[in-house]
């Protein structure tokens, strides 16, 4: 495959680059320090048109996902941001602006900026408004994919606020309950709850049975996916990752996941003045998708309802009760939502980030195509 193939994807879907490789094993990994990876990615983002702050914030967000072990939202996915920046569908020097505002709400126009940059702006504005009004609800319209929602939920929780985030994703991947056509995004939702004696409890989940990234990574090597995740183009269940990418993903829990995914799409679409469904697809085809899609960030200050210290302590007590509860056979520990990722972050900051060699090779190829020297990781 020519070196330009990875980035020449204007009319292709995200699974177009699927080199023939043996299945990736635990030993087929590289280890890279988070600082070195951030520096490398910052250079790549600057090379494709980002100003210094935009490049830095993009790299911070990407590496944060890798530190949590969510590579499908991290380095593995930088190709899409690079592609959109090079094509002019994302703006590497956005002028982010507030277009509508009340004491507790705001609508932000992201000027087509990358999601990590516009998302941080929206999250910080939601925190500011929650401190002043008890709640801050910020609609972000006109930015790129914001990737791992937990990144912003944790940022809001670090300000001692409860977080809620909603986004609709594209391209559409998920069929409605009872149907086979893909009409919804994987439409993730995230929540975060500060507690008194540890990291916040963080929920971050797609409303499809599987995140599309897991299927994409399986497609690199032709590995099978679990049954129940996807249908092929004819509507038949499939465990073939490449057939799944051409077909549709199943909604989480059938009709319940369909309903939840629809609610997330409505919150982050028409409710805040953004578009979704066929209207979003038409905008994407016209090169306007990154300026018309939406995300909703909500920060809630527990102090608006009483003593926030009491709230955080009660959350901690209940978390401890859950952790102490009886375990099923073969289970060593009950994990709270977000706990595994938080432990990964602590360990990977010390020891380095383990990346599948395939992901690293993709990233190196992107760097070479935009003129960035590959760092030594030996």
The answer to whether position 310 is within a domain reads no
More confident residue, 2 or 61: 61
- Whether 74 shows a pLDDT value over 90: the answer reads yes
The answer to whether position 337 is within a domain reads no
Q: Give residue 57's pLDDT.
A: 98
Q: Can you give the three-state secondary structure of the chain, one letter per residue?
A: CCHHHCCCCCCCCCCCCCCCCCCCCCCCEEEECHHHHHHHHHHHHHHCCCCHHHHHHHHHHHHHHHHCCCHHHCHHHHHHHHHHHHHCCCCCCCCCEEEEECCCEEEEEEEEECHHHHHHHHHHHHHHHHHHHCEEEEEEEEECCCCCHHHHHHHHHHCCCEEEEEECCCCCCECCCCCCCCCECCCCEEEEEEECCEEEEEEEECCECCCHHHHHHHHHHCCECCCCCEECCCCCEECEHHHHHHCEECECCCHHHHHHHHHHHHHCCHHHCCCCCHHHHHHHHCCCHHHCCEEEEEEECHHHHCCHHHHHHHHHHHHHHHHHCCCCCCCCCCCCCCHHHHHHHHHHHHHCEEEEHHHHHHHHHHHHHCCCCCCCCC
Do residue 81 and residue 132 come from a single domain?
no
Q: Give residue 13's pLDDT.
A: 33
pLDDT in tens, 173-215: 999 999 999 999 999 999 999 999 989 999 999 999 998 888 9
Q: Which of 54-58, 290-294, 354-358 has the highest mean pLDDT?
A: 54-58
Query: CA-to-CA distance for 277 and 270, rounded, in angstroms?
Result: 10
Q: Give residue 26's pLDDT.
A: 54
Q: Give residue 247's pLDDT.
A: 95
The answer to whether position 239 is within a domain reads no
The answer to whether position 15 is within a domain reads yes
Q: Give residue 4's pLDDT.
A: 38
Do residue 158 and residue 139 come from a single domain?
yes
Do residue 176 and residue 287 come from a single domain?
yes
The answer to whether position 326 is within a domain reads no
Do residue 27 and residue 173 come from a single domain?
no
The answer to whether position 357 is within a domain reads yes
Do residue 155 and residue 56 come from a single domain?
no
Do residue 77 and residue 116 come from a single domain?
no
Do residue 102 and residue 52 come from a single domain?
no
The answer to whether position 47 is within a domain reads yes
pLDDT in tens, 99-135: 999 999 999 999 999 999 999 999 999 999 999 999 9
User: Structural domain of residue 59, as residue ranges?
Assistant: 3-90+347-369
The answer to whether position 21 is within a domain reads yes
Do residue 123 and residue 179 come from a single domain?
yes
**Which CATH number characterizes residue 264's domain?**
3.30.1370.60
Do residue 300 and residue 356 come from a single domain?
no
Of the candidates 67, 68, 57, which has an alpha carbon nearest to the alpha carbon of residue 32?
A: 67
Do residue 36 and residue 134 come from a single domain?
no
Under the banding of pLDDT at 50, 70 and 90, the label for residue 378 is: low
Query: Total domain count for the chain?
Result: 2
pLDDT in tens, 223-246: 899 999 999 999 999 999 999 999
CB distance 62 to 87 below 8 Å: no
- Whether 281 shows a pLDDT value over 90: the answer reads no
Do residue 36 and residue 15 come from a single domain?
yes
Do residue 72 and residue 131 come from a single domain?
no
């Amino acid at each position: 495959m020519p070196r330009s193939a990875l980035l020449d994807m204007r009319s292709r879907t995200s699974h177009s680059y699927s080199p023939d490789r043996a299945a990736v094993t635990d030993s087929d990994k590289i280890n890279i320090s988070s600082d070195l990876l951030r520096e490398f990615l910052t250079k790549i983002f600057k090379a494709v048109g980002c100003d210094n702050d935009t490049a830095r914030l993009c790299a911070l967000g990407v590496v944060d996902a890798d530190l949590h072990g969510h590579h499908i939202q991290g380095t593995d996915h930088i190709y899409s941001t690079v592609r959109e920046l090079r094509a002019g569908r994302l703006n590497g020097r956005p002028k982010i602006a507030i277009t509508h505002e009340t004491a507790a709400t705001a609508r932000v126009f992201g000027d087509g900026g990358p999601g990590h940059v516009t998302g941080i702006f929206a999250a910080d504005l939601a925190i500011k408004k929650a401190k002043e009004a008890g709640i801050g609800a910020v609609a972000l319209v006109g930015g790129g994919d914001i990737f791992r929602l937990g990144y912003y939920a944790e940022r809001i929780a670090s300000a001692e606020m409860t977080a809620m985030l909603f986004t609709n994703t594209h391209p559409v991947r998920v069929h409605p309950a009872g149907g086979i056509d893909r009409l919804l995004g994987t439409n993730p939702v995230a929540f975060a709850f500060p507690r008194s004696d540890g990291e916040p409890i963080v929920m971050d989940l797609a409303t499809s049975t599987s995140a599309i990234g897991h299927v994409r990574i399986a497609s690199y090597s032709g590995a099978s996916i679990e049954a129940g995740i996807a249908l092929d183009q004819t509507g038949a269940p499939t465990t073939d990752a490449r057939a799944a990418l051409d077909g549709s993903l199943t909604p989480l829990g059938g009709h319940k996941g369909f309903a939840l995914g629809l609610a997330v799409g409505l919150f982050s679409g028409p409710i805040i003045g953004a578009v979704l469904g066929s209207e979003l697809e038409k905008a994407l085809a016209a090169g306007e998708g990154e300026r018309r899609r939406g995300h909703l960030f909500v920060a809630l200050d527990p102090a608006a309802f009483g003593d926030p210290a009491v709230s955080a302590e009660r959350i901690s007590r209940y978390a401890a009760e859950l952790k102490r509860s009886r375990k099923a056979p073969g289970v060593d520990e009950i994990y709270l939502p977000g706990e595994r990722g938080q432990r990964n972050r602590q360990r990977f900051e010390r020891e380095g980030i383990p990346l599948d060699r395939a992901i690293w090779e993709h990233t190196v190829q992107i760097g070479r195509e935009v003129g960035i020297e590959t760092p030594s990781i030996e």
